[in-house]
Amino acid sequence: MIAKTRVITAASITVVAVMLYLWGHSDGREGRPTGLIGESFAAESPPALSPVNARVRDFYSPNSEDLQPDEMRLIACGTGMPTARPKQAASCWLLELGNGDKFIFDIGTGSAERVAALQIPYNFLDKVFLSHLHTDHFGDLDALFVGGALAGRQKPLRVWGPSGATPERGTKYAMDHLRKALTWDLDGRQGLTDPRGYHIETTEFDYKGMNQVVYQENGVTIRSFPAIHSLDGPVSFSVEWNGLKFVFGGDTFPNKWYDVYAKDADLAIHECFIAVPDMITKFKFTPQGALAVGTQIHTAPEAFGKVMSRIKPRMAVAYHFFKDFDTTGAINDRIRTTYDGPLSLAEDYMVWNITKDDIRVRLAIVDEDVWPPPATEKPQAPDPSLRIPYSVEIAGGRLDVHDVIQPTYDAINKEYGLNEKQE
């Protein structure tokens, strides 16, 4: 059975909440509000007291639900286009399994913010799988790497990604040079923070591998197969665990490998680019550029539908478009010319709970004032001897504020049994 899919927005949730408030109470029949148009108030019993018991929610709230041992949960942390915007970050998907494992597929520009909103301890967010090396698919890796280490990831960040047609187009080259680009940042943290998280372990695999196993631990098997996008190098992934199968296509033109290896998927993600007319009017592409990018480098909605009509997943997920009131209809209508099966038009914070019996689709409601969750291990005290000192010229510019800072040192030393001294 597949739960009925609906397009839900934060605005619609707000409207429903206001309507429920105005109607005042529920009549006990599946929580249906009373006082609807056409329903007689005279037939109702006196208003009930305000309920005090929890009710089933039509949204997901992070850390509010147990994930069952046989269940997958997928959360969209980025669904948009190369130009990130407040409403939609670029490609990022967090997959949680009932055995406790968590995997991030792509970490595109703006998505680290969404990952943080889920309030998952960063030690569990140490496995990233990159479909390719466009910035809208790995542009926030630096934020997850450094920010995650600061916020409690006390182990290296593990990154899996494809090789390229040349060494400098591969994932290892990109990670090595990302680390070099962060030299000033990382050097400046030496001796000040727990050092264990400031390392990247890269596993580069052959982008031409056909359904090759790239990860196999704890009963989880992740495979890759080629994708067709921009240059040689992009890949798609499949995850098999506990009799369930999740497929992430990354960016790709419709191809024969996805057609074979995505079959029998419980949930299959494939890109679905914005309709060509909207690329011209909204993105201001030339007609020639819109046709080339929207139908040849990316997958047009009609082609997305054809792909899904062939592989027949339990749930098809379309992403990689700006989901607005004046663009979503065209995408949906074009998909429906070639596909009539279960469909989600993805947006940020959309959540899919997947079991063998059901796929439930909701939106998450998150707290924008989140702080990092508690670390899963005791922090390691920094070694001050590793600090890189200021130059004489810069150190000489320090203003003497010892007198106003000393009370803070005195209070912390007393509370924690320390003997820290100001520089």
Residue 228: predicted pLDDT: 97
What pLDDT, on the 0 to 100 scale, is given for residue 21? 36
Q: Which two tokens stand for residue 192?
A: 């000040």
Residue 36 lies in a domain: no
In a domain, 76, yes or no: yes
pLDDT confidence tier of residue 8, bands split at 50, 70 and 90: very low
- The values of phi and psi at residue 401, to 5°, are -125, 25
Q: What is the pLDDT of residue 51?
A: 75
Residue 30, pLDDT score: 33
Mean pLDDT for 228-245 is 97
Over residues 318-357, the pLDDT tens digits come to: 999 999 999 999 999 999 999 999 999 999 999 999 999 9
Which candidate, 293, 232, 239, 266, places its Cα nearest to that of 359? 266
The token duo for 335 is 């998909």
User: Which tens digits make up the pLDDT trace of 253-276?
Assistant: 999 999 999 999 999 999 999 999
| CATH number of domain containing 169 | 3.60.15.10
Q: Is the dihedral of CA 369, 373, 379, 385 positive or negative?
A: negative
Q: What total of structural domains would you count in the chain?
A: 1
Question: At CB < 8 A and 24+ separation, what contacts does 293-299 make?
Answer: 296/253, 297/229, 297/230, 297/253, 298/229, 298/251, 298/253, 298/271, 298/273, 299/252, 299/253, 299/254, 299/270, 299/271, 299/272, 299/273
Is there a domain that residue 117 lies in?
Answer: yes
Token couple for 195: 């050092």
Q: 49 lies in a domain? A: no
Above pLDDT 90, what percent of the chain?
82
Q: Is residue 370 part of a domain?
A: no
| pLDDT at residue 251 is higher than 60 | yes
Helix, strand, coil distribution of the chain in percent, nearest 5? 30, 20, 50
* 22: pLDDT strictly greater than 60: no
Between residues 30 and 125, the one the model is more confident about: 125
User: Which two structure tokens, joined as six digits, stand for 184?
Assistant: 């000033």
8-35 average pLDDT score: 38
Look at residue 52 in the predicted model and tell me its pLDDT: 81
Domain that holds residue 344: 72-363
- Residue 245 in any domain: the answer is yes
- pLDDT above 70 covers a percentage of the chain that reads 89
Q: Is residue 124 part of a domain?
A: yes
Q: Closest Cα partner for 317 from 341, 294, 295, 346?
A: 346
Instruction: Identify whether 111 is part of a domain.
Output: yes
Position 44 scores a pLDDT of 62
